[in-house]
Chain A
Amino acid sequence: MLSLMRGEWYQARKSFAVRLVLVCTIIVGVCFERMSQEYYIANNQLEYATVGGCLCSMMQDTAMCLLYASVFAGLMIGGAFENRTIQSEICSGKKRTYVYLAKMVMYLLVVTVLSLAYWFSGAVVIGLRYGLGTSELIGNLSKPEYLVGMVIACVFADMSLSAICGMIGFMIRKTGVVMGVCFALILAGGNLLAALLPENVSKYFEYTPFRLAYRVLKYDLTWGEIGTTCLFSLLWIWFILGFGIWRFQRTELK
C-alpha cells in the first residue's frame, strides 16, 4: 500500500494538469473574490468582507468542487485505465483493494487541495484586509475554532461527493466519458432529485453527499452540525469506498 501511495504521489507531483489547475484556481479565486468584495461593500453587505463570510460564499459554490472532482476523476482514474497504469499495478502483484484505495486517496487529496486553494485564495486576502469580523455580523463564524470546524466538515462533505465521481471513474474507465458523466449526472441528477422528491423525503436529502456541505455553510453554525456533517460524510465515504472496492474486485480489466 505504501509503495502504491508513493507511486501515486509521484504521479500527482509530476502532473502538469494538477499544477496548471492549481495556479489557475488561485488566480481565479483571488480575482473573483476582489470583484465580489467591491460589489458587496458598495451594497453595504459587510458580512462578506470577513473571512467567515468569504469562505461561506466560496464554499457554496459546490459546482466548482464538482468540476474539480469530475475533471480529476477523468484524468487521474479514467486516464489511469487508458494508459494501463492500474492494470500494470495489478499485474505486478498489488492487491486490487490497495490499488483502489491508493488511487482514491490520492484523487481525493488532489481534489481537496484544489478546493482548499479555491476557498482560501480569496479568504486569505480578505482576512488580511478586513480580519475575522464580529459575532454581530457573522455569528459563530467570527471565531477561529468554528471556522476550522466548518472547513473540516465541508472538506469531508465534498470528499463524499468526490468519492462518487471517483467510483464512477473506476466503473466507466474512460477519461472524457467519466468527466462528462460525473459533472452532468451529479449536477443535474442532484438538482432533479431535490426538486422531484416529496417534502417528507427531501428533508433527508441534506444528509446525502449532494447537500451535506450546505449543512455547515451558515453563520449560526453549531458544533452539533459540524459533528453530524463530519460523521455523515465519513459514513458516506466509507460506504462509497466499500462499494467501489467490492465492485472493482469483480471487474474484468482489458
Chain B
Amino acid sequence: MSDVIIEAEGLTKSYKSQTALKNVNIKLKKGKIYGLIGKNGAGKTTLMRMIAGLGFPEEGSLSLFGKKTGRERTGEKNRIGMLIESPALIEGMNAKENMHWQCLMRGYPNYEMEEKLLNLVGLGDTGKKKVKNFSLGMKQRLGIAMVLLGNPEFLMLDEPVNGLDPTGMVEIRSLLKRLNEQEDKTILISSHNLPELYQTATDYIIIHEGEIREVISHEELEEHCKSYISLESTDTEHMVMVLKKYLHTENFKVMPDYSVRLYDLFTEREKIGQILYQNGVVLTEFSIQQATLEEYYMHVIGGNTNA
C-alpha cells in the first residue's frame, strides 16, 4: 500500500484577477508532521480548502489516499480530521453537546470517546457552560477534540494554536507529537507561529504567492540554518574591508541592521578578534548564533532577512 496520503499535481486556482495557487505539486507521506508556512494570502488556506473539498481547483488533480475522483475522495474524507480557519461550533450548546452533535452527524455516537477527548484537551470540567462563553483558546481546544473524533489517520489543522496561552501551546504541541509518534498519525499544520512550528514539524512546506517554494525536512532545515558568527562594529564598511583583506573570506553577509554574519572561520575565532582589533575595528558584538526557521523562510521567499 502506498504511503502517500495526499498528492496534488498542478493545482491551480485563482479568484478574479488574483492567482491563489499556481501549479502546486506536493506529496504528503504517512507518519510525518508537515508545517505549512506562508504569509497571509500565500495560499495556505486555499490549498487546505481544496483538500477538504470546500473549494474546487481550476486545473490539476488531487488524490486522497490514492483516490482521485470527487466521489471516491468524498468517501475517504472520514479518514481525515480537519480544522480549517475556525472550529465548527454551535455557540448555544456546551462542549459535550457539540461533541455529541459532531458524533451524531458523523454517524458514530460514542459518549465514552466524547468524554475521553474532552479530558484530553482539558475541557472535561466545563459542565454546562455554553460555547459562546468560551475563550478563543477553549474554542480552539474543543475544535481539536472534535477533529480527533473517529480516530482519523490524517489531521489537517489551520492555525491550531491560535488564541492559546503558552501552556496551551505546549499541551497541544505535545498532544500532536504524541499522536504522530504513538498513533502514527500524519499531520498538516498551517501556522504563522514559526518557532512553535519548528518544535513540532518534521517537514516544512513553504508557500509563497500561490507557489510551493520549497519542501524541506527538519534535518535539511537544520543544515541550512547553519551557525554563524555575528559581528557588530561602529564601522561596518571598515570591518568588511578587513574581513576580505586580512582574513581572506567573502563568506559573510551584511545585514540590514549593519551587523555582519560570518559563515566560516569558526575554529579561528581568536584570530578574527585579534586581526579586527589590530586593524582598528571596534567590535560591539561578537557571538555565535544560528538562523531560525523564520529567517530561513524569509530567505526562501526573498524577504529582507537572509539566512
Contacts and interface: CB of A to CB of B under 8 A. Distances in A.
Interface string A69-105: 0000000000000011101111111110000000000
Contacts of B77: 91-93
A223 B266 CA distance: 98
B85 interface: yes
Contacts of A4: 105
Interface residues of A, number: 26
Given A7-B104, A252-B54, A252-B56, A91 B84 contact: yes
Interface stretch (A11-19, A119-127, A148-156, A180-188): A11-19
A2 B89 CA distance: 21
Interface residues of B, number: 33
B90 A85 contact: yes
A96 to B, nearest CB: 8
Contacts, number: 82
Contact of B92 (A2, A16, A93, A250): A16
Contacts of A6: 104-105
B100 A92 contact: no
A90 B52 contact: yes
A83 B101 contact: no
B93 interface: yes
Nearest to A87: B54
A14 B104 contact: no
B106 A3 contact: yes
A7 B55 contact: no
Q: Interface of chain A, helix or strand or loop or mixed?
A: helix
A254 interface: yes
A10 B52 contact: no
A95 B73 CA distance: 10
Interface in A1-57: 2-4, 6-7, 10-11, 14-16
Given A93-B75, A254-B54, A87 B105 contact: no
A59 to B, nearest CB: 31
B66 interface: no
Contact of B107 (A3, A15, A90): A3
Contacts of B93: 14
Nearest to A102: B105
Among B52, B76, B97, max chain A CB count under 10 A is at B52
A253 B104 contact: no
Contacts of B97: 14
Contact of A84 (B74, B88, B101, B107): B88
Contacts of B101: 7, 10-11, 14, 85
Contacts of B119: none
A83 B90 contact: yes
Given A84-B85, A254-B85, A91 B90 contact: no
Interface in B66-107: 74-78, 80, 82, 84-93, 97, 100-102, 104-107
Contacts of A2: 107
Nearest to B51: A91
B273 interface: no
A90 B53 contact: yes
30 contacts: A2-B107, A3-B106, A4-B105, A7-B102, A7-B104, A14-B93, A14-B97, A16-B92, A83-B88, A83-B89, A83-B90, A83-B91, A84-B89, A85-B88, A85-B90, A87-B54, A87-B88, A88-B102, A88-B105, A88-B146, A90-B53, A91-B54, A91-B80, A91-B84, A92-B82, A93-B78, A93-B80, A252-B55, A252-B56, A253-B55
Given A4-B105, A253-B54, 17 more contacts: A3-B105, A6-B104, A6-B105, A11-B101, A14-B101, A16-B92, A83-B88, A84-B88, A85-B90, A87-B54, A88-B88, A91-B80, A94-B74, A250-B56, A252-B54, A252-B56, A254-B85
Among all A-B residue pairs, the 3 with the closest Cβ atoms: A7-B105, A88-B88, A93-B77
